[in-house]
Amino acid sequence: MMYYRKAIMLQSYLERISPGDTEATLSAKEAFDTQGFELSPEARAQADLKFTYVVTCQIYGKQKEQQKPEAADIAMLMQRHEALRVAFIDVVETLKEGRVHTEYYSKLVKADDNGKDKEIYSVKLPGDPKLGEGKPENQNHAIIFTRGSAVQTIDMNQDNYFEEALKMRNLLEEFYHDHGIRPPTILGVREHVFTGSVSSLASFMSNQETSFVTLGQRVLANPLKVRMHYGHPDVFDRVFHITRGGISKASRVINISEDIYAGFNSTLRQGNITHHEYIQVGKGRDVGLNQIAVFEGKVASGNGEQVLSRDIYRLGQLFDFFRMLSFYFTTVGFYFCTMLTVLTVYIFLYGKIYLALSGAGESIMEKANVLQNTALTAALNTQFLFQIGVFTAIPMILGFILEQGFLRAVVSFITMQLQLCSVFFTFSLGTRTHYFGRTILHGGAKYQATGRGFVVQHIKFSANYRLYSRSHFVKGLEVALLLVVYAAYRYDDGGALGYILLSVSSWFMALSWLFAPYVFNPSGFEWQKTVEDFRDWTNWLLYRGGIGVKGEESWEAWWDGELEHIRTFGGRLMEILLSLRFFIFQYGIVYKLHASGDDTSLT
């Protein structure tokens, strides 16, 4: 936001210089670059009137008490920038009638002339404000301190460029332009993800995000009219939103993806959300596989909670047919179809296993050959050739063609294939499916802090195992086991070529899920790191759990945490129903080993 101040100051200064006076313009720019805010007191005062910057940091008061370096950094920023305000929760404990009485205040402070914090407002709260999720509560307690008719919500991982800041006035003018039946209530802004050069994974994430925030959102806004708010640097009509429940919802668990609910809220209350391509801001995305997996897991869990929310139900009821379908396929439908894709692989393989183990497939094939029923033969020899995970990259390729031209897009695509992007996207397919499906079945999504640091160090084996065991490794082993058993007991349905065509995509999916965390792990094939990983892994397995022991320290504590979602009767029932699929293996063992003699009854 500091760039916006500089832009306004430079603009107001240059307006007083005649357009033909090139030397004066150049000298003004030079003075601006060298002198900074001392360029013109009037321009600075004008900028301070036009813009205020509220940084909301709930724990700033606690950090000051503990004299943490973060508090000193915030204080220094307030001293340097006069228009900067910090909102925080102040917890005051007093002794009343022999009992500790706790009071909560939402406070706004700025730096005074002596560099100390000067309190501007103090609003007494009825109790602890953190009832829901942390991030939206942080926004909600500070929104009352904003002023003006427009508010821009800026994430911590957001960047800006000076030339883009000059366009801010044009963007704000969009509030007064015609954008359909109603004036806009949220102005959408495109992003430039600048972390793509850190690693191959970062470039995949960057390109995927770029295709969504450019090609995707442009179409969502016009003509589909179903663009929402996705945690981007969007500009809100403050008066519209503050009179309709604020800019974020904060119910615990259900509003874990708090950003998109601002869009739901705006649309349900007859707002209009637009998207503008001529202005962009920088954005730092996740760069390590574990960070990406945690982030995608959080988004997938949040989407699972959206399926269960009343907002989606109301939008589905009120949209016309075409907007409803557009909305479905761009929110919950995307994750639902992803889950169905993986479930289809499982159902297909279990069906083939059943036909092979029971002998039904062989007998049907013989009958089809005798009767020369080619349709039945073709149906039995179905192939599962295409790996659906690769198809999630198609919007990205189209975005490349549009932004870079066809030739550069082809080169970029081939380069990404050499960097094993198909393995990464297939792995992401498993992440989305697991977290979305688990949230639908058991609920209880949790906010995951991804950190968004430059993670290019080696990740230990035990950390990878903890993160991917239930979501990828167990499922990947199950698919591999199905394929091996099918290879052993299958009826002759096209020979080796038939088996390869049938299983190539499933093998690719299983191997991607099993080995991607190690292929993409920095220094993953270094011998010394492998030895250290094994030592750390054995220590983790052998360390006993207990009260206060975290999952990172002990296998037992981690396992207890992993089984939290099936502590209830409903959770256990769902897990039992899902596990009944393994009955097919038992069925096959009884038949193939002739454990029951000639008796072929189900009992």
Give the C-alpha distances (Å, rounded to integers) separating 129 from 63, 66, 95, 231, 352: 18, 21, 21, 22, 55
- Dihedral through CA 415, CA 417, CA 421, CA 427, nearest 10? -170
The Cα–Cα gap between 385 and 570 comes to: 37
Answer whether 261's CB lies under 8 Å from 255's CB: yes
pLDDT on residue 39? 64
406 backbone dihedrals φ, ψ, rounded to 5°: -65, -45
What does pLDDT average to over the chain? 84
Q: How far apart are the first and last CA of the chain?
A: 72
Q: What share of the chain has pLDDT > 90, as a percent?
A: 43
Answer whether 403's CB lies under 8 Å from 216's CB: no
Assigned token pair, 29: 């720019």
DSSP character at residue 551: T
Give a three-class secondary structure readout of 293-356: HHHHHHHHHHHHHHHCCHHHHHHHHHCCHHHHHHHHHHCHHHHHHHHHHHHHHHHHHHHHHHHH
Half-sphere exposure of 95 (CA within 13 A, CB side): 1
* Selected residue with higher pLDDT from 460 and 19: 460
72-108 confidence digits (pLDDT tens) = 999 999 998 888 999 999 999 888 888 888 999 999 9
Task: For the beta carbon of residue 455, count every other beta carbon within 10 angstroms.
Answer: 20
Specify the range with the lowest mean pLDDT, choosing from 218-227, 300-309, 403-412, 542-551.
Answer: 542-551
Q: Is the peptide bond before 223 cis (omega within 30 degrees of 0)?
A: yes
Give the C-alpha distances (Å, rounded to integers) separating 135 from 141, 248, 398, 574: 10, 9, 34, 32
| Residue 115 confidence class, pLDDT cut points 50, 70, 90 | confident
The Cα–Cα gap between 77 and 285 comes to: 24
Specify the range with the lowest mean pLDDT, choosing from 358-367, 378-387, 516-525, 534-543.
Answer: 378-387
DSSP character at residue 189: E
145-180 confidence digits (pLDDT tens) = 998 899 998 888 888 889 999 999 999 999 999 888
Name the CA radius of gyration of the chain, rounded. Answer: 29
pLDDT on residue 415? 92
Q: Is the pLDDT of residue 11 over 50?
A: no
**Global pTM?**
0.86
Give the burial string for 43-53 (b: 16+ CB within 10 Å, else e): bbebbeeebbb
Q: Is the pLDDT of residue 513 over 60?
A: yes
31-51 confidence digits (pLDDT tens) = 344 445 566 788 878 877 778
Put the strands of the sheet holding 117-125 in their side by side order: 53-56, 84-96, 99-111, 117-125
Q: What angle separates helix 134-142 from helix 258-268, to the nearest 10 degrees?
A: 60
DSSP character at residue 254: T
Partnered with residue 273 across adjacent β-strands are: 186
DSSP character at residue 104: E
Specify the range with the lowest mean pLDDT, choosing from 209-213, 242-246, 380-384.
Answer: 380-384
Give the mean pLDDT of 374-385: 68
425 exposed, middle or buried (CB, 10 Å; 0-12, 13-18, 19+)? buried
Give the mean pLDDT of 49-68: 89
| Residue found under tokens 């479905």 | 328
Alpha-helical (H) ranges within 193-288 are 200-211, 217-221, 238-242, 258-268
DSSP character at residue 494: S
